[in-house]
């Protein structure tokens, strides 16, 4: 019996427990305040899961005015088979907490789900105020915590379906660039948003977000997208780069996708290209070091559809030059310089001799290349006799310089004492000369008349040799500051001569010999005699007299001050007549530099006094001039002229008739 009694009591306990826990149809489910509206799983936005979740407890029935109800909130994580306590509290009666204060705003603490990912449920229970053994239970409300973006932790694949070359025709036809987002796995895939960025250079880091967003929209189920034409044309002809991000419904972002390059070439594409030209290779059949000094240029003929922004890349033998723009070299043919470093790098100096290379070019519209129809052949000959020279210029700094020695023993100048004498040039031979190497001296840009030095093979390393600089070569340049001389090193069979550095000297081996003054209207009497008579007179500015002409010379230069001297003498040619001296000075004009200068000697003042009736019928005039030459006044010789200014016939005509008939 006892057993019968005990069994009955246990069943009663179980029944009471079941009756004390039931889902009350009058209780509504709790609300998730910040959940995404309409989401059946209670999905939370990703920016709301780093703080407590706001929830609301709806108004429940059968409240007492003063006696509280016990409110219990519980959650059911996926790892548990039973609800777990979140919190519980007494909810005051309706007098203290009126119905209009509902719903009650509460929180699910962050610690509850801080490390939780996925779905859980929560509900609440209300214990009746009149029977503490009975509790009503609300329907559950779902919550989904999603912190992981699409595809993570993997990286989304690059966009696919991009045309190999995007042209203006494609953009016009399609309204942009059609392409596709690769397939991926994601819950609520229909809510995934795609953000596509377009870049004009490859992204440098995974954190770099594209500055230009061209698409921000819900991803179509077909995953097809269209990059609008305006964005492509704004960046222009070049490699462009597409990247994208996927955002799930919670707003979590994927990693940035791998980039996809787009080859864009807009406008009429380059066509009708012709082979390039290398003019310096055609003038003598090869490119030598002298051509390298010019420098070497490749000529690109005009082609169809060219744009100033098109790029040109030259291939010179095994050298590929940096890209340059068409606009930087207009007009056609484009003339593009090949730097010496590239020319020399295309030559095998160990092999030496004549070496054939191919010269070609490509035109780039953006980064899309169009190659010329055929390369152009050129021949390089860059080898040198003697020491190496890294520069194309013939002057080799390794070669010894000329040691100059004048007849008087100076190493830096030629002076008056060296007139009619030879000088000597000394220099040391390089240590790698061979028989028949030739060394030729150039003096003031002229090869000297002495024979070149020809190596005979018996010389010792760095032996000093000499050549005479004849006076006949020196006298061609009698005056010069910094006159240069050097020698040229050549070897039979080699086309590239080498030159020494310059040796400079100062030269002053000139005796200044100014031409004598001229009396243009003097009458030649023969025997070397000249005379000014009445027929020699001419009018100048209302005054009658004679002109004395100073001839043009190497010293009569514009701006030089010339001093003119004239003296009138009596019939003995030695006694100066009073007040008949001229000492005047003026600058040479540009016209006078080539025509010479004229000085006027007035008849009344300087000629007429020579005729004194009954005493003297003649006199003599002497003229000279001086001017500075290199800071020293140099003078011409005095030039004499007889003065006989009287009329030969007629009464009272003892002096010249003025004005002249």
Q: For 16-64, what is each residue's pLDDT tens digit?
A: 444 444 445 579 999 999 999 999 999 999 999 999 999 999 999 999 9
Q: What is the pLDDT of residue 14?
A: 42
Residue 272 has pLDDT above 70, yes or no: yes
Question: What integer is the mean pLDDT of 64-82?
Answer: 96
pLDDT, tens digit, 9 for 90 and up, residues 343-375:
999 999 999 999 999 999 999 999 999 999 999
pLDDT, tens digit, 9 for 90 and up, residues 318-342:
999 999 999 999 999 999 999 999 9
Question: What integer is the mean pLDDT of 227-256?
Answer: 95
Q: Dihedral of CA 221/224/230/231: which sign? A: positive
Query: From CA 404, how far away is CA 414, in angstroms rounded?
Result: 10
- Alpha-carbon dihedral angle through residues 284, 287, 292, 296, given to the nearest 10 degrees: 90
- Alpha-carbon dihedral angle through residues 207, 208, 211, 215, given to the nearest 10 degrees: -60
Tokens of 173: 């036809």
The values of phi and psi at residue 38, to 5°, are: 80, -5
Query: From CA 187, how far away is CA 145, in angstroms rounded?
Result: 13
The lowest-confidence range among 29-33, 134-138, 295-299, 629-633 is: 629-633
Q: What is the pLDDT of residue 210?
A: 80
Q: What is the pLDDT of residue 647?
A: 78
Query: From CA 32, how far away is CA 383, in angstroms rounded?
Result: 87
Q: What is the pLDDT of residue 205?
A: 75
Identify the CA nearest to 213 among candidates 235, 229, 231, 230.
231
On whether the CB atoms of residues 193 and 217 are closer than 8 A, the answer is yes
pLDDT, tens digit, 9 for 90 and up, residues 111-156:
999 999 999 999 999 999 998 889 999 999 999 999 999 998 999 9
Q: What is the pTM of this model?
A: 0.65
Q: What is the pLDDT of residue 653?
A: 54
On whether the CB atoms of residues 412 and 405 are closer than 8 A, the answer is no
Query: From CA 513, how far away is CA 551, in angstroms rounded?
Result: 12
**Long-range own/partner contacts, residues 236-239 (CB < 8 A, 24 or more apart):** 236/264, 236/266, 236/309, 236/366, 237/264, 237/265, 237/266, 237/267, 237/309, 237/365, 237/366, 237/367, 237/368, 238/200, 238/264, 238/366, 238/367, 239/263, 239/264, 239/366, 239/367
Q: Quick one: pLDDT band at residue 281, thresholds 50, 70, 90?
A: confident
Query: From CA 426, how far away is CA 403, in angstroms rounded?
Result: 5
Residue 554: burial class (beta carbons within 10 Å; 0-12, 13-18, 19+): exposed
Question: What integer is the mean pLDDT of 201-214?
Answer: 82
Query: From CA 637, how far away is CA 628, in angstroms rounded?
Result: 15
- Cβ partners under 8 Å of residue 415, min gap 6: 406, 408, 508, 509
- 256: β partners: none
Fill in the DSSP letter of residue 253.
B
Query: From CA 508, how far away is CA 422, in angstroms rounded?
Result: 14
Question: What integer is the mean pLDDT of 539-551?
Answer: 95
Question: What integer is the mean pLDDT of 585-608?
Answer: 96
Query: From CA 521, how far away is CA 238, in angstroms rounded?
Result: 84
Q: What is the pLDDT of residue 11?
A: 46
Q: Quick one: pLDDT band at residue 5, thresholds 50, 70, 90?
A: very low
Residue 12 has pLDDT above 70, yes or no: no
On whether the CB atoms of residues 151 and 186 are closer than 8 A, the answer is yes
Residue 473 has pLDDT above 60, yes or no: yes
pLDDT, tens digit, 9 for 90 and up, residues 372-390:
999 999 999 999 998 999 9
Q: Quick one: pLDDT band at residue 614, thresholds 50, 70, 90?
A: confident
Q: Which residue has the tokens 């050097």?
A: 486
Residue 652 has pLDDT above 70, yes or no: no
On whether the CB atoms of residues 612 and 641 are closer than 8 A, the answer is no
Q: Quick one: pLDDT band at residue 661, thresholds 50, 70, 90?
A: confident
Q: Which residue has the higher pLDDT, 540 or 550?
A: 550
Identify the CA nearest to 87 among candidates 72, 75, 76.
72
Q: What is the pLDDT of residue 207?
A: 72
Q: Considering only the C-alpha atoms of the chain, give the largest distance between any 2 of them, rounded to a whole number of Å.
A: 201
Q: What is the mean pLDDT of the chain?
A: 93
Q: Which residues of 49-66 are buried (b: 16+ CB within 10 A; e: fewer)?
A: beeebebebeebeebeee
Query: From CA 213, how far away is CA 256, in angstroms rounded?
Result: 13
Question: What integer is the mean pLDDT of 608-624?
Answer: 90
Cα distances from 539 to residues 158, 535, 546, 567, 596, in angstroms, run 102, 12, 8, 21, 19
Q: Which residue has the tokens 């000088």?
A: 423
């Amino acid at each position: 019996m006892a057993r019968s009694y005990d069994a009955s009591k246990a069943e009663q306990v179980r029944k009471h427990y079941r009756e004390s826990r039931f889902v009350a149809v009058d209780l509504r489910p709790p609300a998730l305040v910040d959940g995404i509206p309409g989401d059946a799983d209670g999905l939370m936005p990703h920016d709301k899961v780093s703080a407590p979740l706001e929830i609301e407890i709806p108004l429940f029935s059968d409240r007492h005015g003063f006696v509280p109800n016990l409110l219990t909130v519980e959650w059911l994580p996926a790892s548990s088979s039973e609800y777990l306590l979140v919190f519980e509290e007494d909810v005051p009666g309706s007098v203290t907490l009126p119905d209009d204060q509902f719903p009650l705003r509460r929180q699910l603490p962050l610690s509850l789900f801080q490390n939780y990912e996925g779905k859980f449920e929560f509900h609440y229970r209300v214990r009746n105020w009149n029977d503490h053994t009975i509790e009503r239970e609300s329907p559950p409300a779902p919550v989904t915590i999603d912190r992981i973006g699409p595809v993570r932790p993997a990286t989304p694949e690059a966009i696919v379906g991009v045309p190999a070359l995007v042209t203006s025709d494609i953009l016009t036809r399609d309204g942009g660039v059609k392409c596709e987002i690769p397939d991926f796995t994601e819950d609520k895939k229909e809510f995934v948003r795609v953000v596509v960025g377009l870049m004009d250079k490859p992204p440098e880091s995974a954190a770099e977000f594209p500055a230009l967003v061209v698409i921000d929209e819900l991803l179509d189920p077909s995953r097809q997208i269209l990059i609008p034409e305006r964005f492509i044309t704004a960046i222009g002809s070049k490699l462009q780069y597409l990247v994208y991000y996927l955002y799930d419904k919670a707003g979590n972002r994927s990693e940035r996708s791998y980039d996809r390059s787009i080859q864009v070439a807009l406008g009429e594409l380059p066509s009708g290209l012709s082979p390039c030209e290398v003019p310096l290779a055609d003038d003598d059949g090869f490119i030598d070091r002298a051509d390298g000094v010019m420098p070497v240029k490749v000529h690109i003929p005009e082609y169809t559809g060219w744009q100033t922004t098109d790029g040109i890349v030259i291939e010179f033998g095994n050298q590929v030059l940096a890209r340059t723009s068409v606009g930087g070299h207009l007009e056609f043919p484009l003339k593009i310089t090949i730097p010496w470093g590239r020319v020399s790098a295309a030559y095998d100096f160990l092999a030496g001799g004549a070496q054939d290379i191919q010269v070609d070019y490509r035109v780039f519209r953006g980064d899309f290349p169009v190659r010329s129809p055929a390369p152009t052949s050129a021949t390089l000959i860059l080898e040198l006799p003697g020491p190496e020279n890294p520069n194309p210029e013939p002057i080799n700094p390794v070669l010894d310089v000329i040691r100059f020695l004048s007849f008087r023993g100076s190493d830096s100048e030629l002076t008056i004492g060296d007139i009619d004498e030879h000088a000597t040039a000394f220099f040391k031979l390089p240590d790698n000369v061979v028989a028949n190497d030739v060394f030729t001296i150039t003096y003031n840009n002229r090869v000297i008349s002495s024979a070149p030095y020809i190596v005979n093979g018996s010389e010792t390393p760095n032996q000093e040799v000499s050549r005479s600089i004849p006076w006949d070569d020196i006298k061609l340049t009698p005056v010069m500051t910094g006159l240069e001389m050097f020698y040229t090193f050549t070897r039979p069979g080699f086309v590239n001569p080498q030159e020494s550095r310059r040796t400079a000297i100062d030269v002053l081996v000139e005796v200044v010999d100014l031409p004598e003054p001229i009396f243009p209207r003097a009458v030649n009497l023969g025997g070397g005699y000249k005379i000014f008579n009445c027929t020699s007179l001419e009018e100048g500015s209302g005054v009658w007299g004679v002109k004395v002409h100073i001839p043009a010379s190497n010293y009569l230069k514009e701006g030089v001050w010339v001093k003119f001297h004239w003296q009138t003498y009596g019939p003995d040619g030695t006694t100066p007549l009073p007040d008949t001296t001229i000492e005047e000075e003026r600058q040479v004009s540009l016209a006078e530099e080539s025509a010479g200068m004229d000085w006027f000697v007035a008849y009344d003042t300087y000629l007429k006094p020579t005729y004194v009736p009954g005493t003297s019928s003649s006199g003599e005039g002497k003229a000279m001039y001086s001017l500075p030459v290199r800071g020293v006044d140099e003078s011409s010789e005095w030039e004499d002229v007889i003065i006989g200014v009287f009329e030969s016939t007629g009464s009272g005509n003892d002096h010249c008739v003025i004005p002249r008939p």
